[in-house]
């Protein structure tokens, strides 16, 4: 099958996983809509704004009077309806969001005027429409402002509230079953011995599944036993998506691929040229897509974010999953051996303009994950970066 590049593997996921033909819907309150996918076209119930409004604190004027010296004829606050038409040679003090009075066609910011008593003077030129939001300029009555298939974030909730919707129809959440494997993995409430690790992967994956619109179900840990592993995978395949953590390497006790083969699995890829996460598996069995994710925590979360999240988005009803790549300037030089796309824990500055690759001790370093607020994406074809060079990042 060969090793796929990162781009080819992600493309394979998007090419294979389509939006299901019929997804059930339900109505939820806005408080429960975050992360869900809108199941209807939402139209505006009025022009937005319904009347022309000021975009700045300043003075409403007639552009034909500028530049010049004007008499201040009053004040208009947000929420107040003007009662007088602005006449030549006058200005009205106006607040951000306030309605523009008849006769005015420009707002001059207060920083650009000199005021003395009831007079203002400005050297600004007349520019009709400056700092005015015209009626209906953001949206017109009946216009679709939130299309079907949009994942609902804070902005979409603000939009729903703005058009008077207390509830919204959303698509059913796909059920994602999560299976951790390996004799060394124990439940999180148990005290592990020196050779064991608690099952952090399932809980971290469940958090990401929930964050990106799915309904997670954590299965019992599969021991290093082929029959038990096969039975748990068979049960997991009755969900909309199955995520398997661990057991996908080439060790003597890695039974996941063998168990999947016994269940008639079709494998689309079994290795990707990335670090961490090279032995990532993607396929389909009994009508359900599955991912075999490497067992180390950073590998598990990276491969979920760059591959499985795209499949989950499609199953949620999102046509074009957003990968959310951005760029930042490296604070220190960095070099690596080309050939693999690397996803490294990084720390973005508060303003998001610069990033530092954090020191880490391999893909099992959970404390590094806690310190990180992004993944730094190291291009497979470039060997080194100087301090200040731009590099891609995936925000946490």
Q: What is the full DSSP assignment across 77-103?
A: -TT----S---TTEEEEE-TTPBPPTT
What number of other Cβ atoms are within 10 A of residue 253's Cβ? 15
- The whole-number average pLDDT for the span 47-57 is 97
Residues 128-157 have pLDDT tens digits of 999 999 999 999 999 999 999 999 999 999
Cα–Cα distance measured from residue 20 to residue 18, given in angstroms and rounded to the nearest whole number: 6
What is the residue-averaged pLDDT of the chain? 94
pLDDT of residue 255: 82
Any idea which residue has 């994602």 for tokens? 176
Q: Which domains does the chain have, with CATH numbers?
A: 6-24+173-316 (3.40.980.10), 25-44+142-171 (3.90.105.10), 53-133 (2.170.190.11), 326-395 (2.40.340.10)
Classify strands 185-186 and 326-330 as parallel, antiparallel or unpaired: unpaired
Whether pLDDT at 249 is above 90: no
Whether pLDDT at 228 is above 50: yes
Residues 188-197 have pLDDT tens digits of 999 999 999 9
Whether pLDDT at 1 is above 70: no
Nearest alpha-carbon partner for 241 in 284, 201, 280, 208: 284
pLDDT of residue 253: 47
Residues 292-329 have pLDDT tens digits of 999 899 999 999 999 999 999 999 999 888 888 899 99
Cα–Cα distance measured from residue 86 to residue 97, given in angstroms and rounded to the nearest whole number: 18
pLDDT of residue 247: 74
Any idea which residue has 């022009």 for tokens? 47
State what percent of residues in the chain have pLDDT above 70. 98
């Amino acid at each position: 099958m060969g090793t796929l590049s990162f781009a080819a593997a992600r493309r394979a996921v998007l090419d294979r996983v389509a939006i299901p033909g019929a997804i059930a819907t339900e109505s939820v309150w806005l408080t429960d809509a975050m992360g869900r996918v809108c199941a209807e076209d939402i139209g505006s119930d009025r022009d937005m704004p319904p009347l022309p409004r000021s975009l700045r604190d300043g003075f409403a004027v007639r552009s034909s009077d500028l530049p010049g010296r004007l008499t201040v004829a009053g004040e208009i606050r947000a929420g107040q309806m003007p009662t007088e038409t602005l006449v030549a040679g006058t200005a009205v003090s106006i607040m951000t969001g306030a309605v523009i009075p008849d006769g005015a066609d420009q707002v001059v910011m207060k920083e650009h005027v000199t005021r003395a008593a009831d007079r203002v003077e400005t050297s600004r030129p007349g520019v009709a429409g400056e700092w005015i939001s015209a009626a209906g300029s953001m949206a017109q009555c009946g216009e679709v402002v939130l299309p079907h298939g949009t994942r609902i974030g804070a902005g979409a909730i603000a939009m729903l509230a703005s058009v008077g919707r207390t509830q919204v129809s959303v698509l059913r959440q796909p059920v994602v079953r999560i299976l951790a494997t390996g004799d060394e993995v124990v439940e999180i409430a148990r005290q592990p011995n020196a050779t064991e690790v608690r099952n952090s992967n399932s809980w971290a994956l469940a958090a990401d599944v929930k964050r990106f619109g799915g309904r997670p179900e954590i299965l019992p840990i599969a021991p290093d036993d082929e029959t038990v592993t096969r039975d748990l995978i068979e049960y997991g395949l009755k969900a909309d998506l199955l995520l398997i953590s661990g057991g996908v390497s080439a060790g003597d006790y890695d039974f996941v691929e063998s168990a999947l083969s016994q269940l008639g699995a079709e494998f689309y890829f079994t290795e990707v040229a990335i670090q961490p996460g090279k032995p990532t598996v993607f396929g389909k069995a009994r009508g359900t897509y599955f991912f075999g994710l490497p067992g180390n925590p950073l590998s598990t979360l990276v491969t979920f974010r760059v591959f499985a999240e795209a499949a989950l988005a499609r199953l949620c009803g999102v046509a074009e999953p957003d990968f959310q790549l951005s760029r930042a300037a490296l604070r220190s030089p960095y070099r690596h051996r080309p050939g693999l796309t690397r996803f490294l824990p990084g720390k973005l500055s508060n303003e998001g303009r610069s990033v530092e690759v954090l020191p880490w001790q391999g893909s099992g370093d959970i404390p590094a994950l806690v310190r990180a607020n992004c993944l730094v994406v190291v291009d497979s074809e470039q060997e080194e970066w100087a301090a200040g060079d731009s590099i891609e990042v995936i925000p946490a």
